[in-house]
Amino acid sequence: MSVQRATKKPFKMDIASLHAVCEANYARLLRLFPDYEHSNHREFHLGAGRVRLEVLERCRYTTIFRLQQSQAEAEWLGRLRIELRAYHDAGMLEVAAFQSQRHVAARYSYPNPKMLQQDEKVRQNHFLSEWLEHCLCNGRSSISSSVLTP
């Protein structure tokens, strides 16, 4: 009697789905930070925490943002830090860095030394979509906004 092994299907990324998530994230970010072209940062309360969106770099077709969330219970929850890249000509927003992880590959073999998921990039962008939606539904009153001076 021979034993057959299950063949593992190769991982395939759904690019159309990822693009749809990135387009929706771009729209969400613009709702949270509509004056990003003229302001350096936007802050608001989210529950017991604070969220800060900050412009790091402006170029003709792209803007790089830093998103940070701090909680009163920081030792338990830690701090959320995400770097975002907005592509204005395409109307898309993607995660460029998540927490301390700088570069996220489109796919990973599994298992891997850092135990990242095969679709880590997709998962991070889906997390961002849920988090931005949570901010839109539950964020309260802007704390401050820093306007650029010519």
In a domain, 143, yes or no: no
CATH classification of the domain holding 51 = 3.30.1300
Q: What would the two tokens of residue 40 be?
A: 């350096």
In a domain, 10, yes or no: no
Please tell me the distance from the alpha carbon of residue 64 to that of residue 140, in angstroms, as a whole number: 24
Residue 102's domain spans which residues? 16-137
Compute the residue count for the chain: 150
Instruction: Confirm if 39 and 29 have CB atoms less than 8 A apart.
Output: no
pLDDT computed for residue 86 by the predictor? 98
In a domain, 4, yes or no: no
Q: Render pLDDT for 20-64 as a digit per residue (tens, 0 to 9).
A: 999 999 999 999 999 999 999 999 998 888 999 999 999 999 999
In a domain, 75, yes or no: yes
Please tell me the distance from the alpha carbon of residue 83 to that of residue 125, in angstroms, as a whole number: 11
In a domain, 6, yes or no: no
Query: At 150, is the pLDDT very low, low, confident or very high (cuts 50, 70, 90)?
Result: very low
Instruction: Confirm if 69 and 50 have CB atoms less than 8 A apart.
Output: yes
> How many alpha carbons fall within 13 Å on the CB side of residue 57?
10
**Of 14-18, 67-71, 122-126, 130-134, highest mean pLDDT:** 130-134
What predicted TM-score, i.e. pTM, was given to this entire model? 0.81
pLDDT computed for residue 113 by the predictor? 73
Query: At 4, is the pLDDT very low, low, confident or very high (cuts 50, 70, 90)?
Result: low
In a domain, 63, yes or no: yes
Domain count, the chain: 1
